[in-house]
Structures are given as structure tokens and as C-alpha cells.
Amino acid sequence: MSTVGARQILSLAVPAFLALVAEPLFLLVDSAVVGRLGVVPLAGLGAASAVLLTMAGIFVFLAYGTTAAVSRQVGAGLHRDAIESGWSGVWLAVVIGALAAVVTAVFAHPLVAAVGGSPEVLLQGETYLRVSALGLPAMLVVLAATGILRGLLDTRTPLVVAGVGFTVNAVLNVVLVHGLDLGIAGSAWGTVVAQAGMALALVTVVARHGRAHHASPRPHVARVLRAAVEGVPLLVRTLALRAILLLTVWTAASFGDVPLAAHQVTMTIWSALAFALDAIAIAAQALTGQALGAGDRRAVRDASAIMMRWGWWTGVVLGLLVLAGHQVLPTLFTTDAGVRAAIASGLLVVAIGQPLAGLVFTADGILIGAGDGRWLAGASTVVLLAYVPLVLLARHLGQGHTATSAMVVLWVAFSGFMLVRWATLWWRLRSDAWLVTGAHR
């Protein structure tokens, strides 16, 4: 792996891009379908989604950590060890997912209440959250299994599975919410069913790879515990970033139901864009891990330079698309004029920040692929501490203003967080401390 070219990066990034876009489309479909029920259900979905995505998102290390570990061992020629390491991640996902489901279902009311909103909004959010909790184990298994396949340089299978899952989710949402008149609960049930099917499909493919390399899928307690320990730094990193997202939702909720509903849609669109940009980061994780496993630092540097450029220009293109559609996109989610205007104002800020986001996500992917979790944990904690005064200032400035003005203030503060995050990542990439070679970091 002495050289890494554009073709190899594209072969990983394009399928990953399409698969990652399909993931936030689950929430986009939920938002579009539930939005037709009114402002209150849409705001309730926003509050519940913030909690649900946090419960699932804090364990994204199941994908990221597994990709880095598997790709390193594949680069070192240890295919059987790579897949067995991946299986440990899957079993860890089952355990964590079951615990997370119980906690989320039992404490649904206080979790939604912590985000904020009117009593009517909280009732809708609690309903959605209790049903969606059932899908958490499958959601985490999908993360772990996807991480294994990415480490094997297979991003096409997750694409196919995500595409089928999205289609099933879309159909079930329309049928259950409007056809059977189940309201916001119907939207949650549709997503749960789709997630279960995706988990089963991905695990089946991983098992096929395992048989080809005589890798055992049986759980080994020591390996599962090792996977848990190695995932702690990435868990800390993700907790810090999720805390930032929750602080942002908390601030939006303090402005009222209309800004909260608008923020739900705007953040959903931002997340869709983030997943699209993350496609290059996924390629970075896999290629960086394999190159370092093979002891090839030059390939890492070459690939990093190419992918950073791609991240920037992809952000430019996405920003222009959002700018062109900032008045049209809100009409897809709500008929309320106030909410539409607030979404449009937030999307203007989102559009301007996309090139920066492209750099941030690509750099983050490179360091994750290098197994630089400890440094990322510390840096993310610093970024969180820097964001707290920014978001508190935004909360103060937005009080008493129109929903449109409040959204602009909030998203400018959020862009400030992205700028600080980029500064820390840029500083790290300039050094050689993260370029550790070998099958294990």
C-alpha cells in the first residue's frame, strides 16, 4: 500500500457517502411525516430525537473503533484476528444496546423533560422515545457490523442495507402514521422495524466473511472487555460532542416551541450534510488504519492531503446547494409560516459553515483511523469547555427576539464551536505523534 490514489478513495467514499446519507434520511422521513401532524408533534420529535440520537451516538465508537482496529489488523495481514476483533464489537453492541434500551424506556419522561418544551411537546416526545428505545440494540449492532465491513474496505454492503432500510422505514412511516392513524408512535415503530432488519442483514454478511477466514463469532469475555476498554477514549470524545449538541437543543427549547421545531429541522438537515461529508472521513479511517498496520506512513500522508482537499471542496458544493434551497427546504417539513422562516434563517448560517465542516470531519476521520482516541478525547473536552460560554451568550441574546433572529444567533454560536474544533484538529495533524505503525496502536 505504498500509494493511495483518488480511485481507491472514491471506491470507498462514494458508497459510504450514499449509505451515510441514507442514515439521516430516517430522521428526515420521520420529520416530514410527523411535521404534517402539526408544530407540537414536530417539536416533540425534536426533543425525543435529541435524546435518542445521544443514547445511540455516544456509542458510535462501536463503528469507529471497530473500523480502526479491523483495518489495522488487515493491513498487517491478520484477517482472522481482524474479524474476531470485530465480533467482539458486535457482542459489546448487543450488551450496551440492551442496557441503553431499558434506561431510555424507563426514564423517557425525565430525559425528554431535560431537553425542554411545553407539556404537550413533552407528551409527544415521551411517546416517540419509549417506542424508539426498542430499536437501540439493533441500531448499535448496525454500527458495529458496519465498522467491521469498513475495516475490510467494504462500504458497498452497508450502502445496500441502508438503502433497503430507508425504503422500508419510509413506507412504514406513511402507513402507520397516516394510514393507521397511530400518530407519532407509528413513526417510531416504522424506524424500529427497519433497524432490526438492517442489523440482521449486516450480521449475516459479517458471518460470511468470518467463515471464509475461519474466524469464530462466539463471544470471548476477555476480548469483549478489551473492546470496551479500548472504546473509552472515543466514548469520551463522543460524549463531549453530544453534550455540545444537547446544549444547542436546550438553548433552542428556551426560545419557545417554534424555534425548537425549527431547530429540529435545521439540525436534521445539518446532520444529513455532516453524514455526507463524513463519507470521506470513513475512507480516511479505513485507509489510515490499513496503511499504519502495514507500516506505511507515506501512504497516510499522501491520502490525508488528498482527502483534506476533497473535504473542503465537498463542503463548498454542499454549502452552495443549501444556500440555493434555503427557502424551499423548509416547505418539505412544515406548513407553519413562522417555523419555515426560522428554518430558512438557520440554513443560511449552515450553508456558510459547510466548507469548514468538510475540513473538520475529514481530519477527525484521519485521526480516528490512526487510533488516536486518547488525544481526541482530550481535545473534544477542551472544545466543549470553549463552547459553553458561546452557547450561554447565544441563549441570552436570543431571549425576547423573533424565532428567525434566535435561530441566527444560535447557529452562529454553533459555527464558533466548529471553528474551535478545527483549530485543535489542525494542530494535531501538523505533528507526527499520531503516526504509530503496527497491528495494534
Which tens digits make up the pLDDT trace of 294-318?
Answer: 888 888 888 888 889 989 999 999 9
Question: So what's the pLDDT on residue 123?
Answer: 84
Show the cell assigned to 310. Answer: 476533497
> Could you read off the pLDDT of 136-180 as tens digits, one per residue?
999 899 989 999 999 898 888 988 998 898 888 888 988 888 888
Residues 6 or more apart whose CB falls under 8 angstroms from that of 211 comprise: none
Looking at per-residue pLDDT, the higher value among 299 and 203 belongs to 203
Q: Which of 43-57, 198-212, 235-249, 303-317 has the lowest mean pLDDT?
A: 43-57
Residue range 86-115: mean pLDDT, rounded: 89
Q: Which of 6-10, 320-324, 391-395 has the lowest mean pLDDT?
A: 6-10
User: How many helices (H) and strands (E) are present in the chain, helices listed first?
Assistant: 16, 0
Residues 6 or more apart whose CB falls under 8 angstroms from that of 257 comprise: 39, 40, 43, 117, 118, 121
CA distance 59 to 53: 10
Question: So what's the pLDDT on residue 1?
Answer: 46
Residue range 42-61: mean pLDDT, rounded: 78
**pLDDT at 221 exceeding the cut of 80:** no
Highest mean pLDDT among 84-93, 242-251, 254-263, 407-416: 407-416
Question: So what's the pLDDT on residue 264?
Answer: 83
Burial per residue of 4-31, b for 16 or more beta-carbon CB atoms within 10 angstroms, e otherwise: beeebbeebbebbbbbbbbbbbbbbbbb
Cell match 434563517: residue?
345
Question: So what's the pLDDT on residue 220?
Answer: 78
Question: So what's the pLDDT on residue 124?
Answer: 81
Show the cell assigned to 305. Answer: 492531503
Radius of gyration of the chain (CA): 21
* Amino acid sitting at position 24: P
